[in-house]
Amino acid sequence: MARTAVTNHIRRLRQERTGMTQEALAQTCQVTRQTIIALEAGRYAPSLELAFRIAHALGAPLAEVFEWDPASAA
Amino acid sequence: MARTAVTNHIRRLRQERTGMTQEALAQTCQVTRQTIIALEAGRYAPSLELAFRIAHALGAPLAEVFEWDPASAA
DNA sequence: CCGGCATGTAAAGAAAGTTTGACATCGCTC
DNA sequence: GAGCGATGTCAAACTTTCTTTACATGCCGG
């Protein structure tokens, strides 16, 4: 259906806080580089479990990495 | 992936804080009752977007509803 | 130049999450 | 002791997320 109401700051946090490459972040989170690319591009939202892993890898609380807009959910 | 490393307190919060039925929570979150049943039973973890909707419906921050155990992720 | 490295695209398919519908049980109340 | 509301099971279809593989681009160092 639609283009998810969830946005993320993965790219910014990855670069500013960790300096990691997409590849490195992917490995840390145990997913493929493709997945990171798709998420940073906002093509879809991650599963809850992956969201937790990414936030952990970026050293930020989940809510700081991912934002949800209740309005666009109606 | 196997059985998710994410646990939740949906049932408890639903009963204690909202008094809602599964059906009512399902409607509030715009999912079916089946989904709520499966989540409360821990059969799988929700998508990130649904997790946000559920937390919102329960009046609690996401991190209070869902817990992730980094250990069981390795 | 040429090489490597980081990032990007694309498509097929597997896996996880969600829906639909039909039906069972338990507790309550009329 | 039938009816109803809340909860539960099962299973098949379906959608979204994730993987795999292969190839393209831009940048920088030697």
- For chain B, give the percent of residues with pLDDT over 70: 93
Write down the pLDDT at residue B5: 87
DSSP character for A67?
E
Contacts of A46 in chain B (CB under 8 A): 48
Does any domain span residue B14?
Answer: yes
Contact between residue A65 and residue A51 where contact means Cβ atoms under 8 Å apart: yes
The answer to whether position B70 is within a domain reads no
pLDDT of residue B48: 98
Q: In whole angstroms, give the CA distance from residue B7 to residue B22.
A: 18
Looking at the domain assignment, is residue A17 inside a domain? yes
Distance, CA of B15 to CA of B32 (rounded, Å): 18
* Model pLDDT, residue A72: 72
pLDDT tens column, B61-73 = 999 999 999 887 5
By C-alpha to C1' distance, D15 is nearest to: A1
Asked, for residue A74, whether it belongs to a domain, the answer is: no
Q: Judge whether B72 lies within some domain.
A: no
User: Would A68 be classed as within a structural domain?
Assistant: no
Give the CATH number of the domain where residue B22 resides.
1.10.260.40
Regions of chain A where pLDDT drops below 50: 1
The angle at the Cα of B15, spanning B9 to B21, to the nearest 5 degrees, equals 110
State residue A1's pLDDT score: 45
For chain B positions 9-68, those within 8 Å of chain A (CB to CB) are 30, 45-53, 56, 61-63, 66, 68
What range does the domain containing A13 cover? 6-60
Number of domains comprising chain A: 1
What pLDDT was estimated at residue B70?
Answer: 85
Question: Residue closest to D10, CA→C1'?
Answer: B34
Is B40 part of a structural domain of the chain?
yes
